[in-house]
Amino acid sequence: MSVSTDEKRKEGGIAETARVIFHALIIALVIRTFLFQPFNIPSGSMMGTLLIGDYLFVSKYSYGYSRYSLPLSPNLFSGRIMGSDLDRGDVVVFRLPKDDSTDYIKRVIGMPGDRIQVNDGVLFINGTAVKRERVADFIDADGGHTMRIKRWRETLPNGVSYETLDLQDNGFLDNTQVYVVPPGHYFMMGDNRDNSTDSRVLSQVGYVPFENIVGKAQIIFFSIGDGEAAWHVWAWPWAVRWSRLFTIVR
């Protein structure tokens, strides 16, 4: 029984489509593993640098590759390949040391060997207060109401500047012990200082091993507020934060 020309064309078309899809998946896997991985921000711990509803690309190559760079994080090797040091002030995604299935995003504050402390809301690194100056209040307009939050500009010893929020005076983590960062580890803090579970909370986050670093936050490619999901395209005209699209994370 012979196969018609139309049937042969149909079979060839299906095979070609399958090949295209397979190649696209391979390319996407390579990009996600070695170049960029998308993440979204589910909490306010990095306000006002990063807002709930921000979607950003994280570069996987910035610090080299660990097993957490690979899909499903198989335990194929330890340490990092082609490793490159973090810089103080970088915003990074890392796997939570207490639960390595969970991703966190924070700012690198302490390097290996540093002594970190917070006194009356002021950050100290190796016994020296980090310079900070009061700037205009942060206006949080999401959620149907407007709230003014005190905002400061901090400048780290290496010259990196960024803004932090101060929700309340004498917050729970405004006065801490002295933390000594172990070798091969980093001390992470959220920019929303009174609403961030970070390295100050040793029982939940603590010091982050170099191996647990996933990558460096680079660019916000999408941002939507008012509690809307990204796929709610009908809400985009008023819910998308157009001014945040394609902004560099600093």
- Mind telling me the catalytic residues? 45, 106
Choose among 216, 182, 212: nearest CA to 90: 216
Three state DSSP letters for the chain = CCCCHHHHHHHHHHHHHHHHHHHHHHHHHHHHHHHEEEEECCCCCCCCCCCCCEEEEEECCECEECHHHCCCCCCCCCCCECCCCCCCCCEEEEEECCEEEEEEEEEEEECCCCEEEEECCEEEECCEECEEEEEEEEEECHHHCCEEEEEEEEECCCCCEEEEEECCCCCCCCCCCCEECCCCEEEEECCEHHHCCCCCCCCCCCCEEHHHEEEEEEEEEEEECCCCCCCCHHHHHHHECHHHCCEECC
How far is Cα of residue 144 from the mean position of the Cα atoms in its chain?
A: 26
Residues 6+ apart with CB under 8 A from 115: 124, 125, 126, 127, 178, 179, 180, 181
The β-bridge partners of 110 are: 187
